[in-house]
Chains A and B, each alone.
Chain A
Amino acid sequence: EPEVTQTPSHQVTQMGQEVILRCVPISNHLYFYWYRQILGQKVEFLVSFYNNEISEKSEIFDDQFSVERPDGSNFTLKIRSTKLEDSAMYFCASSFDYEQYFGPGTRLTVT
Chain B
Amino acid sequence: EDKVVQSPLSLVVHEGDTVTLNCSYEVTNFRSLLWYKQEKKAPTFLFMLTSSGIEKKSGRLSSILDKKEPFSILNITATQTGDSAIYLCAVVGNTGKLIFGQGTTLQVKP
Contact = CB atoms under 8 A, between A and B. Distances in A.
Given A43-B43, A99-B48, A104-B41, A48 B95 contact: yes
A43 B88 contact: yes
Of the four ranges (under 10, 10 to 19, 20 to 34, 35 or more), the interface on chain B belongs to 20 to 34
B43 A42 contact: no
A75 interface: no
B32 interface: yes
A22 to B, nearest CB: 15
A18 interface: no
Q: Is the interface of A mostly helix, strand, loop or mixed?
A: strand
A45 B44 contact: no
Nearest to B103: A42
B31 interface: yes
B42 A104 contact: yes
A95 B98 CA distance: 11
Interface of B (DSSP majority class):
strand
B32 A98 contact: yes
Interface string B72-110: 000000000000000010101001111111110000000
B95 A98 contact: no
B96 A55 contact: yes
Interface string A52-64: 0001101000000
Contacts of A55: 95-96
16 contacts: A31-B96, A43-B43, A44-B100, A55-B95, A55-B96, A56-B95, A89-B41, A91-B43, A98-B32, A98-B34, A98-B92, A99-B48, A101-B45, A102-B43, A102-B45, A105-B42
